[in-house]
Amino acid sequence: MSRAQEMYMPFLSFGNPFSVKSRKGSHMAPKLNFLLDSFEETLGRRIRELKPAKGEDILSLSWMTFAVRSLCDIHSDVISLIAALELPVSDWDDKWIEVYLNNTVKLLDICNSFTSEISRLKQSHLFLRCALRYLDGGFQKHLQAGSSLEAWRQKITKNNPRLEDSFYIMDTLVNMLDLPKVKNSTKGKVLFRAMYGVKVLTIAICNIISVAFSTAPRKLMDLQVSATYLWSAAFTDLQNFLNLEIRNSYLSVSATLLKELEAVDIGVKKVYPILKNETDLSKDEALPVLTSELRESSENLSQGLHQFAEEVDRFFKVVLTGRDTLLTSKLRVGDVLGNKAGAISKMSSSMVR
């Protein structure tokens, strides 16, 4: 059975992986309580800002661009939290580092799947640009325009295997949410409680983007989180709103869930029959108007893809920079410890002599 045919489990439930489920009765220092509360309140605010005023704004490249931009800011907030906690890499347990690196490499893979889909859509867009150029070339070019539109329709309906793989990567990330178990480090518990919220939101946003590109609302995740988080109510409200709108949109849209792409598809479906059936297109008064509308929707799609690609690239760099910083710091600590061990060994040898 292929991956696409396997049963998908969209309803996932997970709770707080840490022993500190609430600040009530917590023995954490006031500064740590303040840092954690501030982080979770900021995360809640960013989540609320992701809820569009109108349901029709969902599944648009403009919203997806804003969502990825928010993820960049949220992941940067974690870096600031690490600095505020005064928790250097030298104090990180090896298991923490392993989990962090495993999580982030999967985020990079998801970014690559989005980049692959953007490239596929841009390549398909070349056929659309050719068709519009032919439509401006007079009657003798209209036959070629029809062929280009047909090529666009065939290209746009093909599945992207790398995009399909992103759903399974997200499944893996969900299964890793409850790790690591933090012991004997209050600062570590604060950090990974904060990172838990970031991972939940990152998975949810990436899932929605993959669904929008793949037209597979059945693969939407309904994530449940404990009410003990300051951001949980905002997240649940956002997720319920987005998932309901997406599922309702799927009932009325057959070709695509992405709004800019849907607009182009509607325009193509209006122009293509005219090119195919009319013998004297010079007398068709509707064609110039429909061509103008198609050109406008085509430009909106092109611009939207460009802006979305820029934010995906930025998110990729944010994640990659975090990994590089961690690895560099870990290597530096290892070198220092190695030098100290070497000096102690030499001292011991001289004392023996």
Phi then psi for 13, rounded to 5 degrees? -130, 130
pLDDT band at 278 (very low <50, low <70, confident <90, very high): low
- pLDDT of 17 > 60? The answer is no
- pLDDT of 140 > 70? The answer is no
Average pLDDT over residues 329-353: 47
Distance CA 31, CA 34 (A): 5
State percent of the chain over pLDDT 70: 80
Higher pLDDT, 315 or 14: 315
Average pLDDT over residues 264-270: 93
Q: What does the pLDDT read at residue 337?
A: 40
Q: What does the pLDDT read at residue 27?
A: 65
Distance CA 293, CA 237 (A): 36
Beta bridge partners of 223: 12
**Residues 43 and 231 sit within 8 Å (Cβ to Cβ):** yes
- pLDDT of 211 > 60? The answer is yes
**242-280 as b/e: b if 16+ CB within 10 A:** bbebbeebbeebebbbbbbbbbbbbbbebbbebbeeeee
Selection from 174-188, 261-275, 307-321 with the highest mean pLDDT? 307-321
Q: What does the pLDDT read at residue 134?
A: 87
Mean pLDDT across the chain: 82
Digit-coded pLDDT (tens) for 188-209: 889 889 999 999 999 999 999 9
Higher pLDDT, 322 or 162: 162
Higher pLDDT, 243 or 17: 243
Average pLDDT over residues 226-248: 93
* Category of 59 on φ-ψ map: left (φ > 0), alpha (ψ -120 to 50) or beta: left
pLDDT band at 26 (very low <50, low <70, confident <90, very high): low
Q: What does the pLDDT read at residue 281?
A: 60
Q: What does the pLDDT read at residue 284?
A: 64
**Residues 46 and 73 sit within 8 Å (Cβ to Cβ):** yes
The burial class, CB within 10 Å (0-12 / 13-18 / 19+), for 184 is exposed
Selection from 34-43, 46-55, 181-190 with the highest mean pLDDT? 34-43
- pLDDT of 283 > 70? The answer is no
